Amino acid sequence: MLYYAAPMEGLTDRVWRQAHQKFFGGPDRYYAPFLSPPENRIPVKKKMADLLPEANPGAPLIPQLLGKDGSCAAWMVRLLREMGYEEINLNFGCPAGTVTAKGKGAGMLRDPQALDEFLYAVFAEAGGPISVKTRLGVSDPAEFEAILEVYRKYPLCELILHPRVMKQLYRGQANRAAFARALPSCPMPVCYNGDLTTLAQLRELEAEHPHLHAVMLGRGLIADPALLRKARGGAPASREELAGFMEQLYHGYTQQFGSAQCAISRMKAVWYYVIRLFEGSEELEKQLKKLRQPWEYEVTADRIFAQLPLLEEPLPRL
Ligand SMILES: Cc1cc2nc3c(=O)[nH]c(=O)nc-3n(C[C@H](O)[C@H](O)[C@H](O)COP(=O)(O)O)c2cc1C
């Protein structure tokens, strides 16, 4: 079974990916957060910087596109191939209102015919491996039958299925029964994604689907960056490793954003997940949320590492 790190906009950029593989070993693949192909076909330099091969040594990286104009997406697929990328992933899973209102992401699942036309345009021009990351549908898991019928028309190199519907956002639970029902009808390699945050949950999924091609981890891997290392029989994150990892992120973002002040909000986004690895973190978590100055951040991060017991698994978020 292959292990993938999920694309997470605002979290799994090159700074996180490089620090993650340095401290905890890489997954089989990282998926980059989505890029929207620009209608004017002028690549946005700042966005492309995240995908420069020289900024991404190590574990293979798969870029992801989020769009609804097939020919524009195909243009960007070619551009990414020229940069050296082989597989490109298409996002039909993003449930954010700002994205789906434009008919993108999971919004593409509203109309299987438009989805078909999009894929037709991409496959007609884009030559080379294309994978898809999808949800089950917009409001009812039964929609997946018609959606899969469309996917089956194309030689997708992999289908990553997050078994929720668009309207669920991240509420409730991933629908494992719907995933199991869909699996036998998928002729392409399939990757499961959703709600795996502990080693026991990962093992349970693996036992349920021993022949599954891959598993993708998102929030669980942000919360416990050693989760995949543990899945391969390695050690849980140590305090020193986690401190080194968070320190590298802080310095990396300070450099990337041009100031420690700007790095803090990104660090807060990472801490939102990582703090669950510490017992009794409520007070310091409140401080983390409120603080604004780099010195306050540094003192609070030091206190977390110095004072709080480290757990082997993240506590569930209540
Ligand atoms: C903050 C955040 C950002 C995300 N960004 C992306 C993205 O850029 N592309 C994508 O396909 N999915 C994105 N996702 C969805 C994740 O890749 C993943 O499918 C989702 O979190 C469910 O998996 P998990 O339960 O393992 O976290 C994002 C999710 C979150 C919470």
Q: Is 94 in the pocket of ligand 1 (CB under 6 A)?
A: yes
The residue whose CB lies within 8 Å of the most ligand 1 atoms, and thus the one to mutate among 191, 219, 265, 268, is 219
pLDDT at 188: 98
Q: Which residues contact 210 (CB under 8 A, 6 or more apart)?
A: none
Residue 52: which pLDDT band, with cuts at 50, 70 and 90? very high
**Sign of the C-alpha dihedral computed for residues 199, 200, 203 and 208 taken in this order:** negative
Which residue's CA is the nearest one to ligand 1's atom 21? 218
Q: Does pLDDT of 313 surpass 70?
A: yes
Residue 127 confidence (pLDDT): 81
Q: Is the pLDDT of residue 167 over 80?
A: yes
Tell me how far apart the alpha carbons of residues 193 and 75 are, in angstroms, rounded to a whole number.
28
CA of 266 relative to ligand 1 center, distance in Å: 16
Please tell me whether residue 198 adopts helix, strand or coil conformation: coil
Question: How far does residue 137's CA lie from ligand 1's centre (Å)?
Answer: 16
- For the Cβ of 252 lying below 6 angstroms from any atom of ligand 1, the answer is no
pLDDT tens-digit profile of 108-165?
999 999 999 999 999 998 889 999 999 999 999 999 999 999 999 999 999 999 999 9
Amino acid symbol at 299 = V
How much is the pLDDT for 318?
62
Q: At what angle do helices 239-257 and 294-307 cross, to 10 degrees?
A: 170
Q: Residues for the chain: how many in total?
A: 318
Nearest alpha carbon, ligand 1 atom 8: 33
18 CB near ligand 1 (under 6 Å): no
pTM over 0.95, yes/no: yes
* Closest to 151 in 3D by CA, of 96, 112, 100: 112
% of the chain residues with pLDDT over 90: 98
- Quote the pLDDT of residue 170: 96
Quote the ligand 1 centre to 89 CA distance (angstroms).
Answer: 13
Average pLDDT over residues 289-308: 98
